[in-house]
Structure 1
Amino acid sequence: MTSEPPPQTRFTAEVVLRWGDMDAYGHVNNVQFHRLLEEARIRAFSEWFHASGGDSMLRSGVLLARQEIEFLEQLTYRPEPVAIEMWVTHLGGASWDMGYEIRDGDALYARAESTLVAFDLAAQRPRSLSRDERSALEALLGEPVAMRRRR
């Protein structure tokens, strides 16, 4: 009897670096990591919420409420993209936490976690996740980010 492999709970986006992402020290500036995560998130939303029009989450409203990054290795510019793996680490009524790893093969450059909130743009307040949104996010539920914590 063979057991089935666990379901894939991570989505990977390949994101291209820009020459201008480098700083005076010759590596990708820490602020640019936030841009890389944003680019990966936008691609993920298109894939995850494709049943409801792909960019529906962006059109209906989603806010970034928190983002924490742990830098592990210096990332230098190169023409090849970096892989950003994403998954859901916690799911609430109107919000969810996403985990990220920025990597290239065995090299792990950073870990991150974000809290995102479904937002009603017209009413200017959080809104509950729809059944389809919740279902899409539940399929990506995985382990918390293995990040060092502050004391």
Structure 2
Amino acid sequence: MRHIYRCPLRWADMDAYGHVNNVVFLRYLEEARIDFLFRPEKDFQQGSVVARHEIDYKRQLVHRHTPVDIELWVTNIRAASFTISYEVKDDDVVYVRASTVIVPFDFATQRPRRITAEERLFLEEYQDDDAEKAVAA
């Protein structure tokens, strides 16, 4: 299953050429990730940190007044980290493909922690390893 976030575009996101600036895409991914992980019924309230981002720019996104879709899914769940993959797109047009490695974190002790059983069950609902292989191709 995939989580879909409708991301609004803002005037400040635009570069001098009228395109969404490449750096802004990292903020879009963050917004989608927060929308996914920090929902009242299933969340990572104990905390998490980003360990790594990979981003592949496919096409320029021209600024407009309609939101862009960000689809995300989980591609790798380990004992103390997981990977989220993304596509920023409109229907069949993909602007960005990306992935983020997330590490659960205990802010009280300032140390990484293991994924809880409840978190693992939640992440497994969105796991799709086959989609990751297709994105990498």
Q: Normalised by the size of structure 2, how large is the TM-score?
A: 0.92
Q: Is 2:84 aligned against 1:98?
A: yes
Unaligned runs of 5+ in 1: 1-8
Letter in 1 for 2:84: M
State the structure with more CA Rg: 1
Query: Where does 1:1-151 land on structure 2 (aligned, <5 Å)?
Result: 9-47=1-39, 50-51=41-42, 54=43, 57=44, 59-143=45-129, 144=132, 146-147=135-136
Shift of 1:147: 3.0
Q: Which amino acid aligns with 1:147?
A: A
Q: State the number of aligned residues.
A: 134
Q: Gapped runs of 5+ residues in structure 2? A: none
Percent of aligned pairs sharing the same letter: 44
TM-score, length of structure 1 as denominator length: 0.84
Calculate the aligned-residue CA RMSD, in Å.
Answer: 1.4
SS at match of 1:114: strand
